[in-house]
Structure 1
């Protein structure tokens, strides 16, 4: 359904996004695709016109739409997503990315960063969603990630060899409409026969070329990097974000190098430590809590040392599904982050670090109409975020399947 010219939503709680901005018995007025007013319910209601649609959630919470900073819409999240991708034709690919975007939206995710697609599928979907032709979140698309011949995710079409091909691929992605340039600075486990996760695929000079060329088009660079050497090279080259950020040493051990993490923090380079709800719970069950905390504890360790964090699910790889964003947030709860900090990370902070914090991630007048309504209070019970009742993305509202948007009146 399309949001009318005015939509007034009142609820038991309104969370503005940044920590501490919590309103009891609050209201949000949307006018076309923009937040027009936020405040006490009675005051905001008085600003709404007589024709405004009014939705009341007496036990619910309104908060900004979620930001998933790392997904792959071209991959299906199944047993062998790479094989499935290589066997799918253009029509199946188009249908698949659209359905996965719809699933993300149904969980309250209103912005995603797609960090590697095939045949610019995510770029085209971004434009269709923006035009209102299909439902889905705002997409920041990277197109095909740069990788050496046969390197990690070569099957997405971004293979490059030598400086000229590197520069040409950056220009090609920019011309195709990319919002960000992605580079596979290290290997990864889903690519058979490719570099090991700890191994670097580009040196610091080459990464610097990519950053400089992307900068000519005003585009940030996101670097997939698991190994210490690849993370350090990417940071020295000036990338905007480091994806995964395991800090693997030469023996494939997850480490915590103080000197290097301080450098990341000093440069303001964000880490998107991707994890799915399935993966972290499986690790706890199969390896024990101590091993899981040693592995995932690096997230809190980086946060304590001032490294900015972006929430990302890596949806699309094996068992990383598109309808369990909250499963990822529950890892942060397990690690000891407060519910208020988690909501901020998933909304205002991730939006800021992706360079769109001036238009989304907060319920602030003048910002885009991106929000989610849930039953209950997520600051006292994070699982309330699973009870989605309404999602508004860029001014277009949708209720989860089978649930009328008026639910909660």
Structure 2
């Protein structure tokens, strides 16, 4: 299949090809560049999907989703009430929504009963549409701790290490540890309170790394963030920087250690609701609430965009609202697009596989109407999505859900 568009953003930021084209063979990009050059490599009768006035770019990467949650006012209640069969059907539908919105890779950081592992296999095998799925299995948490409802409770350090090994044997892509409390779990630790000691985190991370698995740590409190950094985790989820009373406590020394060690912040609480905060509280308070993104960028901390899709009011239809927040905070549109594609792929360990439009990379592609470099809102106007060579949104003569020729 030959895909052409008025402009092509190959990644990283600043690489723009006018009148660009991509030649897809199976699940892989065979060629990419100016239309005239790439078209010469196409076979006679090659299916063509042409998009005048549109932009072709790498598929988006969402660093933090929960396919098992329904984004309702009570997502935990919905999960607890769902039977296994209904849950898997719902997760399948949510995965389809993600890919239709242009998201071709996600990390699912809260599974129950291995449902995400089974869905990962079905997507990879072409049975159902969806993004490339990296899953952590059930997050590790103390008994009754935040996110206990996923089934990952561990009573002590030995149980935690055993859980890491069981997850590895099951085939997860990463380990998630809930190092602080959170707002979803009634009666558990408060958001800023730590749930594991620094020593426990070090041993959990060490065991996961020994087994070749990266570690994502949920941490709102500054104390838990510092412990996670010292433990050598790979990403810190939320990374809210709360002190012992719930107020903001951004520590330059901890951020500097994150930057030096390449530990990414996936600030999922900076979601699409930011415009409501702006309207009700004004620019100053909105910057205080979400400004840690700009502060961490200034400190050199890698940033991984993620929406927390599945929690209340965070749907699966896209992540443009989050990306627009980055832009409002002062990030250029080119930088924002890089963060959500090339940069995100690298931070989750897939930098040699996806996030770039280049020969040999997976055919994870997005075509949008207009120019997202001029207006990130163009990302909402999806014309075509290709996830590992499979077309998930109809365009022209190409049928949705069918593999590319």
Q: Tell me, what secondary structure is at the counterpart of 2:311?
A: coil
Separation of aligned partners in 2, 1:216 and 1:355: 16
Question: Given the alignment, which residue of 139, 142, 147 partners 1:145?
Answer: 139
CA deviation digits over 1:165-201, x for unaligned, max 9? 0111101111111100000010001000000000000
Alignment partner, residue 4 of structure 1: none
Alignment partner, residue 3 of structure 1: none
- Change in CA separation of 1:399 and 1:14 when aligned onto 2, cut-off 3 Å: same
Separation of aligned partners in 1, 2:384 and 2:68: 26
CA deviation digits over 1:355-374, x for unaligned, max 9? 00100000010000000111
Structure 1 residue 278: Cα displacement? 3.6
Separation of aligned partners in 2, 1:276 and 1:262: 21
- Change in CA separation of 1:212 and 1:277 when aligned onto 2, cut-off 3 Å: closer
Separation of aligned partners in 2, 1:243 and 1:163: 21
RMSD: 1.2
Question: Given the alignment, which residue of 362, 377, 380 partners 1:383?
Answer: 377
The answer to whether the Cα contact below 8 Å between 2:66 and 2:311 also exists between their aligned partners in 1 is yes
Structure 1 residue 122: Cα displacement? 1.0
Separation of aligned partners in 2, 1:165 and 1:21: 48
Alignment partner, residue 322 of structure 1: 316
Separation of aligned partners in 2, 1:107 and 1:135: 12
Structure 1 residue 289: Cα displacement? 2.0
The answer to whether the Cα contact below 8 Å between 1:277 and 1:324 also exists between their aligned partners in 2 is no
Structure 1 residue 404: Cα displacement? 4.9
Separation of aligned partners in 1, 2:105 and 2:10: 17
Residues 1:35 and 2:14 are matched in the alignment:
no
Q: Tell me, what secondary structure is at the counterpart of 1:60?
A: strand
Alignment map for 1:110-259 (pairs within 5 Å): 110-259=104-253
The answer to whether the Cα contact below 8 Å between 2:23 and 2:38 also exists between their aligned partners in 1 is yes
Separation of aligned partners in 2, 1:224 and 1:288: 28
Alignment map for 1:300-339 (pairs within 5 Å): 300-339=294-333
Q: Tell me, what secondary structure is at the counterpart of 2:40?
A: helix
Separation of aligned partners in 1, 2:7 and 2:121: 33
Separation of aligned partners in 2, 1:72 and 1:304: 29
Structure 1 residue 276: Cα displacement? 5.9
Question: Given the alignment, which residue of 258, 263, 266 partners 1:264?
Answer: 258
Where structure 2 has 5 or more consecutive residues not aligned to the other structure, the ranges are 400-405
Alignment partner, residue 83 of structure 1: 77
Structure 1 residue 91: Cα displacement? 1.1
Q: Tell me, what secondary structure is at the counterpart of 2:291?
A: helix
Structure 1 residue 99: Cα displacement? 0.7
CA deviation digits over 1:113-142, x for unaligned, max 9? 001111111111011000001100000000
Alignment partner, residue 393 of structure 1: 387
CA deviation digits over 1:181-237, x for unaligned, max 9? 000010001000000000000011111111111112200000000001100001100
Structure 1 residue 21: Cα displacement? 1.1
Separation of aligned partners in 2, 1:222 and 1:14: 33
Aligned length: 399
Of residues 260-269 and 149-158 in structure 1, the stretch that sits farther from structure 2 once superposed is 260-269
Question: Given the alignment, which residue of 342, 345, 348 partners 1:351?
Answer: 345
Separation of aligned partners in 2, 1:263 and 1:285: 35
Where structure 1 has 5 or more consecutive residues not aligned to the other structure, the ranges are 1-6
Of residues 161-170 and 363-372 in structure 1, the stretch that sits farther from structure 2 once superposed is 161-170
CA deviation digits over 1:12-35, x for unaligned, max 9? 100002012110011111111100
CA deviation digits over 1:69-97, x for unaligned, max 9? 00000000001000010001011100111
Of residues 314-323 and 325-334 in structure 1, the stretch that sits farther from structure 2 once superposed is 325-334
Structure 1 residue 251: Cα displacement? 1.9
Structure 1 residue 328: Cα displacement? 1.1
Residues 1:368 and 2:391 are matched in the alignment:
no
The answer to whether the Cα contact below 8 Å between 2:102 and 2:318 also exists between their aligned partners in 1 is no
